[in-house]
Structure 1
Amino acid sequence: MANQKLLLIDGNSIAFRAFYALYRQLENFKNADGLHTNAIYTFKNMLDVLLSDVQPDHILVAFDAGKTTFRTAMYSDYKGGRQKTPPELSEQLPYIHELLHDLGIATYELTDYEADDIIGTFSKIGEKNNFEVTIVTGDKDLTQLASDKVTVMVTKSGVLNLEAYTPEHMKEVNGVTPTEFIDMKALMGDNSDNYPGVTKVGPKTAAQLIQEYGSIESLYEHVDELKKSKLKENLIKDKDKAFLAKKLATINCSTPVTIGLADLKKRSVDYDALRHFYEKMNFRKFLNDLEPSPKLLEPNDSAYQASNVEFTELTDKNLALKVKETETISFYLGMLGANYHSATFVGFAFAIDKQVYLSRDVNLLKNNELKSILENEKIKKNVFDLKRTMVGLRRLGIQVQGIEYDMLLASYLINNENNSDDMAEICNMYGDNSVKHDHEVYGKGKSQQIPADDQLLYNHLATKVEAIASLKESLLSKLKDHEQDDLYASIELPVARVLAIMEINGIKVQAHTLTDLQKEFAVELKNLERKIYEEAGEEFNINSPKQLGHILFEKLGLPAIKKTKTGYSTSVDVLTQLQDQSSIIADILTYRQTAKIQSTYVNGLLDVIKQDGRVHTRYLQTLTATGRLSSVDPNLQNIPTRTQEGKQIRKAFVPSDPAGYIFSCDYSQIELRILAQVSGDEQMQEAFRTGYDIHAHTAMKIFKLKSPAEVTPLMRRRAKAVNFGIVYGISDYGLSKNLNISRKQAQEFIDNYFEQYPQIKEYMDKAVQIAREKGYAETIMHRRRYLPDIHAKNFNIRSFAERTAINSPIQGSAADIIKIAMINMQRKLDELHLKTKMVVQVHDELIFDVPKDELATIKEIVPAVMQSAVHLDIPLVADSGYGHDWFDAK
């Protein structure tokens, strides 16, 4: 019988490596709440590879319990020279713990000991129990644990490029055995852990001495026999340092751990928790890969037990529903698929005076008896998702009116930390477990299908429409208690109607412009391909990481920074680090960027142009905790603007009438203006009131200049990074990376900023204090962001909550203002009976499709409406432009 396998991972070390593996892409790895996720993402990728390669029966990820250990008691400066852990990494550590827990992997930390000691203890326990032990770390100190049964895998660079240390390899690399390596470290000392050894003794000399004497004890027994030399003098002078260093370097393999091998047995994955975790982190790739998928339930499954709701099936012979105009009804339109612009209709249900009427034949809604109920504004309606309902019914030719209650929006505002759009999950939150998850009824993903049994479908529709009605009073009461009823009624409900209209309108996209770009990019890709082949000296598949890795790292001999389970990593981060070493790298990066624009935006948009020549995006109104809108199917908010190739995509977006215009208007520096408002900082407010260049103003402050003429373009760019960084709670580490300066200099910039804008610092401190008292942060429109972690004992979790308390009122208020502007703008278009349509929202920017004869009016009213959305102590400014396509409008 094969030995069992034990995998021991140095959690802090690998998390550190994972963070820096993608630190160049730090700002690209954030979830909807602003949490950095690069270390979590890379850690998960590393785990996948290790679990596949090692296939352990038992696994433990050990973490340091704190900075104080038995070693600091022996030597107070132990690890004293290390830089403070970047907060962008610290905030991710608790979530790495959560990920491991959901994956069924044990974690452990022990007061007064390091992760190394925990690993050392379990490696010995594993050996005694005849386990094959694999240790994974970024710290070579752990190689002292290598033995016939223990292999220590050390990251060379990146995370997944590992070097296996066995006793044989130790002898080959260092010239000493694993045990002798401790004595070698005793003589050398360790700059990383900040403890001294013997003066001027490096690795080579230390190895030679230990090879000859076997240990420092033996060496010092014979030190008097050495020839007179500077080395002998230093050995004698630094004897105490050497013996102290040996104590510090020796891993304690007998720590008082309170768990055993049985506790390290890999548990089953908690798929529900893991799915929720991936959703929270916005890890779509991991979500798509997640198994097992919920199975399609059989008709006799308990999930299909008859509902308690009595219902009547509607047919074309009994459509005469009696509804008074004073009554309020609940309505649910069943659709299969997330994209309600194209989803399959599965049925509908009305709840009227405790009676439920339903059918799977949605065409019945077109009959005048039912259509008149839906289009009668005086008959008030309760729905689950107003926007989804409006768009779905419009597809059937019905312009629903009178929707006054949206269950999804109410739930979202009450607790926007849970942004689920699954009615079953929302119902469960408020004590109603009668509604089944859609995937339990229809299956998941490609397996989705309408149940063959009408009874099963009808039970599902009936419980849904009944839940809309039954939970209304409770949810509206909670909104009132939270003082959010006005936010709900005055902003979220009206803007949902506006978004529905925008989605239905869509924006015209010229397919021939995209096909022309398709041809241009194809030629460019062909030329790049030819150039890359010449530089490589042969033809190969550029899109194959394996073949590309062979060319770069074997044939051309470039340094391999990171490895994956399939070979060399050729990620953007890796290639970016190699740009200076070969001209082929820049061409490969350009090739990839062009290919992505071609596939994602050119081909992607061509695939979603509808028969009306338009694309109809979906705006996600309940996704982010800040209230910002997101766009999907397609994502019109993410069309590239930094590269010339990306900007060309906007040329395809045109007005309905060839003679018309695309008109764009966006807020200028709205988040900084809100910061000036909520902080009350007099200097920043004065800069905005006088129309002063705020970034030049800040540059003068942080560089302590006397005149605007002294501000250089570089200073202004750095001041801009500080301005926006402060809004997002940037750290000295984050700013140093953004500006490519030292952390010390970055901290000086931040200190100077607060010195010159003292009331901003006061606002930040007060925002944290208020969040601690109330448990939430709030926008100027009373949108709440609950912060359950504001009192967390864990410093990293608490710190992230504190930064969220500072920036949520700013980001959330910006989101509120643009929504108010959209509501007012649609109202203005309706009042003036204009043909102009609002077609796209990109965060702080609104895009309009404008007939030629209305351009003069639009140029006047759009900036005016946007600038008057709310009254602040400083002016809102909206900049506009127009052209015959979106590209020219910017």
Structure 2
Amino acid sequence: MKKLVLIDGNNVVYRAFFALPLLSNTQGMYTNAIYGFTMMLLKVIDEEKPTHLLVAFDAGKTTFRHQTYASYKGGRQKTPPELSQQFPFVYDLLDKMGIKRYELDNYEADDIVGTLSKQAAGQGYEVRIVTGDKDYLQLVGNHIHVSLIKKGITDTVDYDHAGVMKRYGIGPEAVIDLKGLMGDASDNIPGVPGVGEKTAIKLLSQFGSVEGVYKRIDEVSGKKLKENLINNQEQAKMSKSIATIDREAPVTVTPDACTYAHKVTPEMIDLFKEFGFQSLIERLAPDEAQSSFDFSEAIQVEPIDRFTRDQLGSPSALIVEMLEENYHYGTIIGFAVSNTQGTWFIKTDQALKDDTFRAWLSDDSRKKVLLDSKQAEVALKWRNIDLRGIDFDVSLAAYLIDPAEAGQGFTRLARKHGMNYIEPDDLVYGKGAKQKIPEDDRLARHLGNKAAALLKLKPLLIEELKKNKQDKLLFDLEMPLARVLAKMEFTGVRTSAQTLEDMGKELDQTLAVIEKDIYQMAGLKFNINSPKQLGEILFEKLGLPAIKKTKTGYSTAADVLEKLRGRHEIIDRILDFRQLVKLKSTYVEGLLKVINPDTGKIHTRYNQALTQTGRLSSTDPNLQNIPIRLEEGRKIRKAFLPAEKGWQMFSADYSQIELRVLAHIADDDHLKQAFIDGLDIHTKTAMDVFGVDRESVTPLMRRHAKAVNFGIIYGISDYGLSQNIGITRKQAGKFIEKYLESYPGVQRYMKEIVESARRNGYVTTLLNRRRYLPDIRSRNFNRRSFAERTAMNTPIQGSAADIIKQAMINMDQRLEALHLQSRMLLQVHDELIFEVPEEELETMKQVVPEIMEHAIELTVPLKVECACGPTWYDAK
């Protein structure tokens, strides 16, 4: 049997946007509406298994209904830009899934769905309509059902004729009469004043239709009701007319043209990757993450038991191949070397025992080309080999040339530069159960060809770097930084398991108190971690409004509970309970698992070639994300302490570095002067925005000013700001407008950087780091708007990243020059953490701010705040 599913695209995308928090991908693009829509779409496809599928969209703001009633939908707020920019990506998604989409000038999605459902039902199709709009219930009929989305996205109620009768007491054909009498505030349909849903249903049960009411108006009971009906007769008939879906619209697509093949296309998976929908990729294409490669050119690779010095020429490409991703603990499965003398493979055991090879690895005069120099350096440090002579890092070079391709893999990089790679099925090693080390001959050819390709890539990448004027960025910043990071990672940070265990016990005690409070407020004991039981307590026993429902009952998700704050004291305690449970499992128990039993330290890994802005990130574990808003979260830092007795933890933190960079780049006199005079920038902004003197600035004003200051950096909209600080969009718009009036240089910068991006196709940081913006010239307004916001932010955030990277290199050099024992341990965004002997504290208090504040000279002073103490927690 043929089944056609028709989806009201605008309605579902809107619902998804407002049902989910503002999610974004790694590039900062908002994705919550796309994600919610995709989840609904996949659920419908899975459950309905349609042979035909179409998503209908509104073509524009005006339709034929506006000719009858100019104020139709007139009360609706302007669509937030965070939502508008997601629509083009929804369209892309549908196209790449092979799903038909359609819009029609002067008509709404309702009319497209109404027309197609009528045609399809007449042609023997089973039709399912998916929407959150009750107006569609008028379409229910033979072979036509409506799935009405309730609260949230994926929770629906199915309606046939009996279902509509049960819900309203009237048939589907009378839904338009219902709207005619009661109106619809969401569409600004007036109806009859004083007539609500109950009254309208009562009238229709008695008289059948709007026309029936007026034919027998004398039979209507209630003087006021009769008077309202008589005085608003034309308005009632007009309202009914507007609410009526046109089922004869001039739709050019036919039901038969809406075939759906249920295919997972490569283009669709690529788009999911761009959006960051990893869970959907794993669900729909579980094999997509597995990839391996081989070089198909005829490179003669010689397995070798012992190198001679002549074979280890300079420069040579060096491959240190690992089985696992975490190179601190990973297994080296083989080495390869390629140079003008030839290409060789050497087994791990042989390589690590070969004195000539080990000496070559540590020889600074023998230049080496590596794919990932930090990975190789750290892996060899764990095996007591000091890798030196690193001449070129292919991954870092490729990352600087195009950061958008970060993490795309060596295969893609080689192919991009004209090298033909294949992905053989019999060379598989990776994560988990799929781990497999290939046979020696297969591995030898693979690694040898990889080394040969590295050698060929070096001159090609250097040529591109020089063309982009980025060679200094690689050789003077990123490659020296890789050595600093390798040293930090290998050094690690001492972590007290006992402290973490004690914290776990404290959290258990606190959780027990909170648990008791919750039971007392609820009036009985229940499983707080059970959404079903919690939902019954909140929404049935305590009578709180049910904001969202799921298949299994009431939703108790974080966004739902946040909306219920202030309605009952139990909500705050439940949110506290959840935060502490996560704190214990993710950080206390999570950190305990990654303490190296041999060193008593945690050895994180810094991702140097990942983010498009140039910022470092941290994994296994992520030490940049330890929560600090909750005091219990801040206490986690007590577990990090110096490795030596009598030493101190020492922290140095840039103060408002991004705002200082903005002042420099925008060359705004007012903003620069505020920093030169040492003013508190948030207080100064509050004074300017609210038009008050310093003494009149309240803490709330300063908080709002702070949100505007940091929001401006990210191109925040009035909607985004209103959500952040809990004010109306109108107020937020005025804040932003006033800010730009107060700092005209910032406004000028925003305009000029967008124009520059449009001319060049990219923006740069102070040290010439690039970020390409392919959508900056897009004809699509929403794609272009997102690229414009990115153009404004990247030079600021990227330059701040460049500054702290330069500071780390300079600091490492100064520690060596002064022969200090102090060690740099961690970088957490704008903060550096050291462990320092007591006798070097005064020196470090002078040296660290001096180095960091002069890493890169700006037209405003950089300011660094230092602190020290026995633990990282105390160094604040």
Same fold per TM (> 0.5)? yes
**Matched residue of 1:848: which SS?**
strand
Partners of 1:788 and 1:726 lie apart in 2 by: 22
Partners of 1:581 and 1:623 lie apart in 2 by: 43
Aligned with residue 577 of structure 1, among 555, 560, 563: 563
Partners of 2:289 and 2:836 lie apart in 1 by: 49
Does the CA contact (< 8 Å) of 2:155 and 2:551 recur in 1? no
Query: In the alignment, does 2:140 pair up with 1:146?
Result: yes
Does the CA contact (< 8 Å) of 1:346 and 1:361 recur in 2? yes
Does the CA contact (< 8 Å) of 2:853 and 2:864 recur in 1? yes
Higher mean alpha-carbon deviation, 587-596 vs 130-139, is at 130-139
**Matched residue of 2:150: which SS?**
strand
Higher mean alpha-carbon deviation, 647-656 vs 487-496, is at 487-496
Check 1:125–1:617 CA distance in 2 against 1; reply closer, same or farther (3 A cut): farther
Partners of 1:819 and 1:304 lie apart in 2 by: 35
Check 1:105–1:834 CA distance in 2 against 1; reply closer, same or farther (3 A cut): farther
Higher mean alpha-carbon deviation, 658-667 vs 524-533, is at 524-533
**Matched residue of 2:751: which SS?**
helix
- The corresponding residue for 1:699 is 686
Query: In the alignment, does 2:81 pair up with 1:94?
Result: no
Does the CA contact (< 8 Å) of 1:303 and 1:440 recur in 2? no
- The corresponding residue for 1:20 is 18
- 1:377-456 equivalent positions in 2, closer than 5 A: 377-434=364-421, 436=423, 441-443=427-429, 445-456=431-442
Check 1:356–1:127 CA distance in 2 against 1; reply closer, same or farther (3 A cut): same
Does the CA contact (< 8 Å) of 1:293 and 1:444 recur in 2? no
Query: In the alignment, does 2:746 pair up with 1:760?
Result: yes
Aligned with residue 715 of structure 1, among 689, 701, 724: 701
**Matched residue of 1:343: which SS?**
coil
Aligned with residue 66 of structure 2, among 72, 89, 96: 72
**Matched residue of 1:320: which SS?**
coil
Partners of 2:471 and 2:186 lie apart in 1 by: 56
Measured after TM superposition, the shift of residue 4 of structure 1 is 4.4
Aligned with residue 344 of structure 1, among 325, 331, 336: 331
Gaps of 5+ in 1: none
Higher mean alpha-carbon deviation, 303-312 vs 822-831, is at 303-312
- 1:856-871 equivalent positions in 2, closer than 5 A: 856-871=842-857
Does the CA contact (< 8 Å) of 1:419 and 1:622 recur in 2? yes
- The corresponding residue for 2:447 is 461
Query: In the alignment, does 2:519 pair up with 1:529?
Result: no
Query: In the alignment, does 2:543 pair up with 1:545?
Result: no
- The corresponding residue for 2:38 is 44
Does the CA contact (< 8 Å) of 1:435 and 1:460 recur in 2? no
- The corresponding residue for 1:726 is 712
- 1:342-741 equivalent positions in 2, closer than 5 A: 342-353=329-340, 355-434=342-421, 436=423, 441-443=427-429, 445-610=431-596, 611-705=598-692, 707-741=693-727
Check 1:273–1:360 CA distance in 2 against 1; reply closer, same or farther (3 A cut): farther
**Matched residue of 1:806: which SS?**
helix
Aligned with residue 319 of structure 1, among 299, 307, 313: 307
Measured after TM superposition, the shift of residue 103 of structure 1 is 4.6
Percent identity reads 47
Measured after TM superposition, the shift of residue 660 of structure 1 is 0.4
Measured after TM superposition, the shift of residue 9 of structure 1 is 2.3
Does the CA contact (< 8 Å) of 1:294 and 1:440 recur in 2? no
Partners of 1:324 and 1:603 lie apart in 2 by: 47
- The corresponding residue for 2:111 is 117
- 1:255-334 equivalent positions in 2, closer than 5 A: 255-270=249-264, 272-293=266-287, 308-315=298-305, 318-323=306-311, 327-334=314-321
Partners of 1:336 and 1:614 lie apart in 2 by: 23
* CA displacement 1:574-616 (0-9 Å, x = unmatched): 1222343444333322221111111110111110000201111
Specify the code of the residue in structure 1 equivalent to 2:874.
D
Query: In the alignment, does 2:166 pair up with 1:178?
Result: no
Partners of 2:672 and 2:54 lie apart in 1 by: 54
Check 1:510–1:199 CA distance in 2 against 1; reply closer, same or farther (3 A cut): closer
Measured after TM superposition, the shift of residue 531 of structure 1 is 4.0
Does the CA contact (< 8 Å) of 2:8 and 2:110 recur in 1? yes
Does the CA contact (< 8 Å) of 2:335 and 2:351 recur in 1? no
Measured after TM superposition, the shift of residue 702 of structure 1 is 0.6
Does the CA contact (< 8 Å) of 2:6 and 2:127 recur in 1? yes
Specify the code of the residue in structure 1 equivalent to 2:690.
F
Aligned with residue 863 of structure 2, among 877, 882, 888: 877
Higher mean alpha-carbon deviation, 262-271 vs 482-491, is at 262-271
RMSD (Å), alpha carbons:
2.7
- The corresponding residue for 1:81 is 75
Check 1:377–1:274 CA distance in 2 against 1; reply closer, same or farther (3 A cut): farther
Partners of 2:289 and 2:851 lie apart in 1 by: 51
* TM-score with structure 2 setting the length: 0.94
Specify the code of the residue in structure 2 equivalent to 1:120.
G
Check 1:110–1:457 CA distance in 2 against 1; reply closer, same or farther (3 A cut): farther
Does the CA contact (< 8 Å) of 2:295 and 2:453 recur in 1? no
- 1:129-278 equivalent positions in 2, closer than 5 A: 129-219=123-213, 238-270=232-264, 272-278=266-272
Partners of 1:257 and 1:386 lie apart in 2 by: 60
**Matched residue of 1:821: which SS?**
helix
Measured after TM superposition, the shift of residue 530 of structure 1 is 4.0
Does the CA contact (< 8 Å) of 2:477 and 2:806 recur in 1? yes
**Matched residue of 1:471: which SS?**
helix
Check 1:204–1:588 CA distance in 2 against 1; reply closer, same or farther (3 A cut): closer
Check 1:554–1:131 CA distance in 2 against 1; reply closer, same or farther (3 A cut): farther
Specify the code of the residue in structure 2 equivalent to 1:434.
Y
Specify the code of the residue in structure 2 equivalent to 1:214.
G
Check 1:303–1:416 CA distance in 2 against 1; reply closer, same or farther (3 A cut): closer
* CA displacement 1:218-268 (0-9 Å, x = unmatched): 555666998996766665665554444333222223334444445544334
Partners of 1:440 and 1:836 lie apart in 2 by: 49
**Matched residue of 1:96: which SS?**
helix
Specify the code of the residue in structure 1 equivalent to 2:378.
V
* CA displacement 1:342-372 (0-9 Å, x = unmatched): 2222211111116210133354144221112
Does the CA contact (< 8 Å) of 1:345 and 1:362 recur in 2? no
Aligned with residue 7 of structure 1, among 5, 8, 13: 5
Specify the code of the residue in structure 2 equivalent to 1:310.
Q
Check 1:276–1:414 CA distance in 2 against 1; reply closer, same or farther (3 A cut): same
Partners of 2:182 and 2:584 lie apart in 1 by: 55
- The corresponding residue for 1:62 is 56
Does the CA contact (< 8 Å) of 1:294 and 1:444 recur in 2? no
Higher mean alpha-carbon deviation, 722-731 vs 458-467, is at 458-467
Measured after TM superposition, the shift of residue 323 of structure 1 is 4.8
Does the CA contact (< 8 Å) of 1:618 and 1:633 recur in 2? yes
Measured after TM superposition, the shift of residue 865 of structure 1 is 0.5
Check 1:366–1:78 CA distance in 2 against 1; reply closer, same or farther (3 A cut): farther
Specify the code of the residue in structure 1 equivalent to 2:741.
E
- The corresponding residue for 1:743 is 729
Aligned with residue 816 of structure 1, among 802, 807, 814: 802
Check 1:93–1:374 CA distance in 2 against 1; reply closer, same or farther (3 A cut): same
**Matched residue of 2:874: which SS?**
helix
Does the CA contact (< 8 Å) of 2:687 and 2:694 recur in 1? yes
Partners of 1:484 and 1:145 lie apart in 2 by: 62
Partners of 1:578 and 1:818 lie apart in 2 by: 41
Gaps of 5+ in 2: none
**Matched residue of 2:873: which SS?**
helix
- The corresponding residue for 2:785 is 799
**Matched residue of 1:879: which SS?**
strand
Does the CA contact (< 8 Å) of 1:109 and 1:118 recur in 2? yes
* CA displacement 1:547-594 (0-9 Å, x = unmatched): 433444445444332223343322111122234344433332222111
**Matched residue of 2:624: which SS?**
coil
Measured after TM superposition, the shift of residue 416 of structure 1 is 1.3
Higher mean alpha-carbon deviation, 288-297 vs 741-750, is at 288-297
Specify the code of the residue in structure 2 equivalent to 1:789.
D
